[in-house]
Chains A and B, each alone.
Chain A
Amino acid sequence: MTNEENSKEIEALLKATISLVQDPELRRDLWPQMLRKLDEQRSPVDHVPWFDWALAGILGAVLFLFPGAIPALLYHL
């Protein structure tokens, strides 16, 4: 059997195994789900956990008090 015939055989087996998706019906209006997602994502700043803000604040304070640490921090990034 040539490669081409073999490929045709594989294609035929695939079609025989996995059927066409015929007229898939959207069962519900997705707009309410879309609106929820928009509301959730609209202000991502509000969703940053408080401890992330705390860490950022501590880091800012350390860098302000010890500016010599900045090159060391950049080196390790």
Chain B
Amino acid sequence: MELLERFAAGDLEAFEALFRQHQREVYTWIVRIVRDSGIAEDLTVETFWRIYRSRSRFDPAGNFRAWSRRIATNASLNHLKTARRETELPEDLASAGAADPAVRRETREQIRKAFFQLPAKYRVVATLALIEEEPYNNIAEAMGISAALVKVRVFRAVRILRRKLNSLGAEAGAK
């Protein structure tokens, strides 16, 4: 019996094999969304827990990678919805070291503040599309929405950011 079939049938060893095959990939995807290595580790385990619980609904002929990525995206989205709206980036993934020195510190702070106040669904697409430069199709597949809706959400995220920056007194072009 194939690995995926054994997993769907509830075989724990098959699940362990899949976990070990995919944990890095799932972690990498999550950390790009939540931008915190500790939280990403917890969410990776949460993702695989959801995967294990839903094993009977998984079609062994299907794409485990795409399925796990979708569950990981939902887990990350749920986390962002429930987490504090304004979260500080941890040192290991913070922007401070790599930030463009041409952009004023004050402007950077305002952008960070506005970005972390974005509603979760906009923050996820903005992170993946604008910062991580992930293709719209990949984001759409991971979120279970159409590429057109991803585009709409990116547009709305940018519009919200622009309004927030204006209300915070920052000029979009301020450097």
Q: Which residues of A contact B (CB under 8 A)?
A: 1, 6-7, 9-11, 13-21, 24, 26-31, 33-34, 37-38, 41
With A14-B131, A17-B95, A24-B28 as contacts: A34 and B126 at CB distance below 8 Å: no
> Are B95 and A26 in contact (CB-based, < 8 A)?
no
A25 to B165, CA, bound (A): 33
A29: chain B residues within 8 A (beta carbon):
20, 23
A76 to B90, CA, bound (A): 48
Instruction: With both chains docked as a complex, state the minimum distance between the C-beta of A12 and any C-beta of chain B, in angstroms.
Output: 9
Q: Which residues of B contact A (CB under 8 A)?
A: 12, 16, 19-20, 23-24, 27-28, 31-32, 35, 37, 40-41, 44-45, 48-49, 52, 89, 93, 95, 97-100, 102-103, 107-108, 111-112, 115, 126-127, 130-133, 155, 158-159, 161-162, 165, 172-173
A6: chain B residues within 8 A (beta carbon):
162, 172
How many contacting A-B pairs (Cβ < 8 A)?
A: 106
A15 to B133, CA, bound (A): 10
A20 to B43, CA, bound (A): 20
A24: chain B residues within 8 A (beta carbon):
27-28, 31-32, 37, 40, 93
> Are B49 and A38 in contact (CB-based, < 8 A)?
yes
> Are B19 and A15 in contact (CB-based, < 8 A)?
no
A15 to B45, CA, bound (A): 29
A26 to B32, CA, bound (A): 12
Chain B residue, CB-CB nearest to A14? B130
Among candidates B20, B48, B158, residue contacting A7 with C-beta atoms closer than 8 Å:
B158
A74 to B45, CA, bound (A): 39
Instruction: With both chains docked as a complex, state the minimum distance between the C-beta of B156 and any C-beta of chain A, in angstroms.
Output: 11
Among candidates A1, A14, A27, residue contacting B111 with C-beta atoms closer than 8 Å:
A14
Question: Which are the 3 A-B pairs with shortest beta-carbon distances?
Answer: A16-B100, A19-B98, A17-B111
> Are A21 and B155 in contact (CB-based, < 8 A)?
no
> Are A34 and B49 in contact (CB-based, < 8 A)?
yes
Among candidates A11, A13, A20, A31, residue contacting B103 with C-beta atoms closer than 8 Å:
A13
Other 14 A-B pairs with CB < 8 A, given A13-B103, A17-B99, A21-B32: A7-B159, A7-B162, A10-B162, A13-B172, A18-B127, A19-B95, A21-B93, A24-B27, A27-B37, A28-B41, A30-B19, A30-B45, A33-B41, A37-B49
